[in-house]
Structure formats: structure tokens, C-alpha cells
């Protein structure tokens, strides 16, 4: 009996020589897939919050991550009664909102946006109002009351962890930038005229005031751009930069609400296959607008006899109408957009890009 078992054991084929390597590849692929799923789920959640806030807050950004949300009470200095509020905690900011008690439209109105940079959390003790704590930021200080001691501890822990993670990221950036500057002699540093007004004290140079670029300036001094600057940064991605590495790009007729039709160079880049960029022309350095496509409804029924190859994107109050020059181009756009609105990508993107090369060249030639 033992001899038979030994023979059976010997007959089992040995593991393939590249088995471990294959397992590592599979594990890496699974990790990337899970990461992509988490990112799409986070983006979907951001879109939901965007609608809850009446589509007025610029929060739909892949760099934003929702950490925690929930109801809270605000202690009013002139009022003995606490007032109901709602918090949305992200990795870089805290949105302090007032509920809207309406059956339609937005559910919350943003009262204050408090940046995580420079934020401090103080646990307070109030005999009349238990479970209180204070959130102190550059923009405002909030006196808050949780529903229970456990709720209070959860909020404080989430806020503290977010602050620590934010500080750690900033410290990593500062160290990296300081190392780059340390390797470059200050006297040979060249700063263009656009950055000549930005100066910062550099530790490696005896804390002397030196000219730095705009990006380094914001990182070194630890400040953040305003909402307007963030929007501007997204729009200032050059057309050539995204068109050269895109899923699809071409001229389309565009109309928003009751405005007249206008011609726009439209691009969906590979790196952001769920965002549509619109430019006045292929050589423009600044986009006219961007549309995050995730969650939109696609209606491909023509709306005008003059523009038969049209389609429409709808999400809540946002309506965007497009029209292609021919039915073939329209179907190519719809194929990509149908995937983008669901947060999906496909190998067909490569095929679409190849098939559009001639169309792009034709469009560019027509502009010359």
C-alpha cells in the first residue's frame, strides 16, 4: 500500500518552472483590476454627491476621495438649540452643509469648505451639550456635536487620520522638491517670467528666499489653489497633448441648452476615458469645457433635420447636444461614449483610434 502511494506521488507532475512568475503576474493583474474598480466606485460616489449638492461644487475629480459622510449638529453661539448639519469628509477638504428639506432638486447646500491643510481637531467638554468637538481650519472654526460618544470618536478618528495622511503626502512632495533643488545650484536656476513673482525660503540654502516655479511654491509653503484655479488647471491642458494620445477625437457640432450650435474639437483622452474635452480648434492651448461622462444618459435620436447625425447627453439638469458630419463618425463616438457613461473601457479603443487617423488628418487639413 505504501509503495503504491509512493509511486502515485512520484507520478504527480512537477510544478512548471515559471509557475511562481505566472502567479505574480496574475496577482498583479488582479490588484490593478481591483484598484480600477475602487476608483470607478469612488468616481460614481462623487457624482452622486455632486448631484446632491445641486451640481454647484467642483468635486468630481479622480484625486478626490470620500472618507466619511454623515449627519452632525452645530452648536450656535447665539442660540441654545443645536442645528442640523451634514458633513462630507474628503482626503483634502471638509464640506459643511445645510440640509434642504425639499422633494426635488439638491438635498444639501454647502455653507463652508474647510481645507484639510492646517486643520486641527480639538475635543471639547460641555456639560450641557455632550459629545462635542471642534474643527479649526484656515477658513473657519466649527463647533460640532455628535449623536453619541461613539459617533464623536469615529468622526475625530476619521478627521485625524485624514489630516495625518495629508501631511504625510505634503512632506513627501516637499522632500522630493527639496532634493531636486539641492542637486541644482541656485545661481544657475532659470525661472520664466510667469513664475518670477513666486519666492520661497529653501531650507537647504540656509532658509534664503529663492525664486521657484508656481507648482513648487504652492507645495513648499503648503497652500492650496482656490476652486477657480483648480477649474482653470483642468481646462488648460493643451489640445495637442490629449489629441495625440486619445481614444477618439474629431470636430463635432455642439449645443448647450438653448444656445446656438457651434463647431468644437472634441477629445476623449486615453488617460481619462470618462472625460470629454472640448476645444475651439485642434491647436488650442485651453479647453472651452470638460464633461465628466460617467452617469450620463445617451439619446441618439436626431433632434434636427438640418443636423441628422446628432445625439444628446443628459444628466439631471445638464443637457449637451452633439452632431457629427456623417453617420459613421456619429456611431464611432456613440460606441466610445456608451462605454464611458458606464465607466468601462475596451480594447476597441485601439481600433477606433486607428480608424480615426484619416478623419483627424482631414479635419486638420480643412482648418489650414
Tell me the CATH number at 357: 2.30.29.30
Q: What is the count of structural domains for the chain?
A: 3
318: domain range? 237-367
Q: 287 and 354 share a domain?
A: yes
| Number of Cβ within a 10 Å radius of residue 151 | 15
138 domain-assigned: yes
Q: 210 and 129 share a domain?
A: no
Task: Write out pLDDT tens, residues 171-184.
Answer: 876 666 666 555 55
Task: Write out pLDDT tens, residues 294-312.
Answer: 888 999 876 666 688 999 9
Q: 133 and 250 share a domain?
A: no
Q: What is the CA radius of gyration of the chain?
A: 27
Q: 152 and 126 share a domain?
A: yes
d(C-alpha 282, C-alpha 249), whole Å? 9
Q: 315 and 250 share a domain?
A: yes
- Which neighbouring-strand residues pair with 298? 313
42 domain-assigned: no
Helices (H) and strands (E) in the chain, counts: 9, 16
Task: Write out pLDDT tens, residues 179-210.
Answer: 655 555 444 444 444 444 567 777 666 666 77
Q: 154 and 205 share a domain?
A: no
Task: Write out pLDDT tens, residues 209-240.
Answer: 777 776 676 677 666 554 434 444 555 676 77
d(C-alpha 94, C-alpha 111), whole Å? 11
Rounded to two decimals, what is the model's pTM? Answer: 0.45
User: Residues 142, 130: contact at Cβ < 8 Å?
Assistant: no
| pLDDT exceeds cutoff 60 at 139 | yes
Q: 285 and 307 share a domain?
A: yes
33 domain-assigned: no
Q: 247 and 207 share a domain?
A: no
Q: 69 and 131 share a domain?
A: yes
175 domain-assigned: no
Q: 261 and 363 share a domain?
A: yes
Show which of 166, 198, 219 is a domain's final residue. 166
Task: Write out pLDDT tens, residues 9-65.
Answer: 555 555 555 667 767 777 777 666 777 787 788 888 888 888 888 877 778 888 889
Confidence of residue 368 (pLDDT cuts 50, 70, 90): very low
Show which of 230, 249, 264 is a domain's final residue. 230
d(C-alpha 141, C-alpha 131), whole Å? 17
Q: How far is CA 319 from the centre of its chain?
A: 21
Cell of 305: 433635420
Q: 151 and 243 share a domain?
A: no
**Inter-CA distances, 292 with 92, 218, 270, Å:** 20, 27, 14
State which H helix or E strand residue 29 sits in.
helix 19-52
Q: Counting beta carbons within 10 angstroms of the beta carbon of residue 2, is it exposed (0 to 12), middle (13 to 18) or buried (19 or more)? A: exposed
Angle among Cα 310, 259, 356 to the nearest 5 degrees reads 35
Cell of 264: 468644437
Would you give the end-to-end CA distance of the chain in angstroms?
Answer: 87
**SS3 (DSSP) at 351:** helix
Amino acid at each position: 500500500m505504501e509503495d503504491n502511494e509512493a509511486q502515485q506521488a512520484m507520478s504527480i507532475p512537477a510544478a512548471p518552472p515559471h509557475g511562481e512568475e505566472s502567479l505574480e503576474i496574475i496577482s498583479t493583474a488582479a490588484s490593478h483590476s481591483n484598484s480600477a474598480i475602487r476608483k470607478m466606485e469612488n468616481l460614481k460616489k462623487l457624482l452622486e454627491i455632486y448631484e446632491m449638492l445641486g451640481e454647484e461644487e467642483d468635486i468630481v475629480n479622480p484625486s478626490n476621495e470620500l472618507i466619511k459622510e454623515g449627519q452632525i449638529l452645530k452648536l450656535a453661539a447665539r442660540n441654545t438649540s443645536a442645528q442640523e448639519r451634514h458633513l462630507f469628509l474628503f482626503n483634502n477638504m471638509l464640506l459643511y452643509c445645510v440640509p434642504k428639506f425639499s422633494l426635488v432638486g439638491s438635498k444639501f447646500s454647502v455653507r463652508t469648505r474647510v481645507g484639510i491643510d492646517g486643520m486641527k481637531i480639538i475635543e471639547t467638554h460641555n456639560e450641557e451639550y455632550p459629545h462635542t468637538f471642534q474643527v479649526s481650519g484656515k477658513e473657519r472654526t466649527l463647533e460640532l456635536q455628535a449623536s453619541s460618544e461613539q459617533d464623536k470618536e469615529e468622526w475625530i478618528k476619521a478627521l485625524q487620520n485624514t489630516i495625518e495622511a495629508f501631511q504625510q503626502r505634503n512632506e513627501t512632495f516637499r522632500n522630493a522638491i527639496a532634493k531636486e533643488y539641492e542637486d541644482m545650484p541656485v545661481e544657475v536656476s532659470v525661472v520664466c517670467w510667469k513664475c518670477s513673482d513666486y519666492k520661497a525660503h529653501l531650507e537647504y540654502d540656509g532658509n534664503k528666499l529663492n525664486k521657484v516655479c508656481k507648482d513648487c511654491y504652492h507645495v513648499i509653503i503648503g497652500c492650496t489653489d482656490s476652486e477657480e484655479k483648480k477649474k482653470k488647471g483642468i481646462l488648460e491642458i493643451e489640445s495637442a497633448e490629449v489629441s495625440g494620445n486619445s481614444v477618439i477625437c474629431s470636430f463635432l457640432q455642439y449645443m448647450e441648452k438653448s444656445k446656438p450650435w457651434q463647431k468644437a474639437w472634441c477629445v476623449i483622452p486615453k488617460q481619462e476615458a470618462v472625460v470629454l474635452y472640448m476645444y475651439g480648434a485642434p491647436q488650442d492651448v485651453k479647453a472651452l469645457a470638460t464633461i465628466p461622462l460617467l452617469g450620463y444618459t445617451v439619446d441618439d435620436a436626431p433632434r434636427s433635420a438640418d443636423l441628422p447625425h446628432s445625439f444628446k447627453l443628459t444628466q439631471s439638469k445638464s443637457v449637451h447636444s452633439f452632431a457629427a458630419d456623417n453617420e459613421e463618425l456619429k456611431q464611432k463616438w456613440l460606441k466610445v461614449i456608451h462605454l464611458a457613461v458606464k465607466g468601462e473601457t475596451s480594447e476597441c479603443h485601439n481600433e477606433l483610434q486607428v480608424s480615426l487617423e484619416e478623419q483627424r488628418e482631414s479635419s486638420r487639413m480643412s482648418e489650414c
